[in-house]
Amino acid sequence: MRKVVCPGSFDPVTNGHLDIVGRAAALFDEVTIVVAINQSKAGLFSVEERLELLAEVTHHWANVRLDSFEGLLVDYCRDRGIPAIVKGLRAVSDFDYELQMAQMNRQLAGVETLFVPTSATYSYLSSSLLKEVAAHGGDVAGLVPDVVALRLRERLAGG
């Protein structure tokens, strides 16, 4: 069985993330979305809330699983026999850091990284920019699933 992980913060999940996950799900037998737990960075949504939103918007893919993890991603992969990481590449600015990380992960544990080029529609989209736009009242329809847009509005209104 060909397994991969799609790691990230997913604070919150965007259509850019889902584009990459969907394309990975078409290529591999099992895709695990791993929400990275970062104790020093609170985020707008808790890890549990991010997982709940991810569950709502990925349930139609039978081969997509969800998990969270704190620590080195390569340890997660090694412990579960997952040989590769799938990452979306948006722009040249993503490349330097992603290349370093990919090389480090291969050096540390032989875990490969496969880069999927972003769809042109989402090449400018990141969770952080999305939150900034939403915080200033901008329309995020088309950038996130409806349920995420709703939760964003509620959260930014103090809910």
41 flagged as catalytic: yes
Q: Among residues 29 and 132, whose Cβ is nearest to ligand ADP?
A: 132
Residues 78-97 that bind ligand ADP (CB under 6 A): 87-88, 90, 94
- Which member of 4, 18, 118, 144 binds ligand ADP (CB under 6 A)? 118
Taking every pair of C-alpha atoms in the chain, what is the biggest distance, in angstroms?
45
Q: If binding is defined by CB under 6 A, does position 9 make contact with ligand ADP? A: yes
126 flagged as catalytic: no
d(CA 102, CA 149): 32
Own/partner long-range contacts of 45-49 (Cβ < 8 Å, ≥24 apart): 45/11, 45/12, 45/151, 45/155, 49/12, 49/151
DSSP state letter for 61: -
Q: If binding is defined by CB under 6 A, does position 12 make contact with ligand ADP? A: no
- Which member of 20, 33, 34, 74 binds ligand ADP (CB under 6 A)? 20
Number of residues counted as binding ligand ADP (CB under 6 A): 17
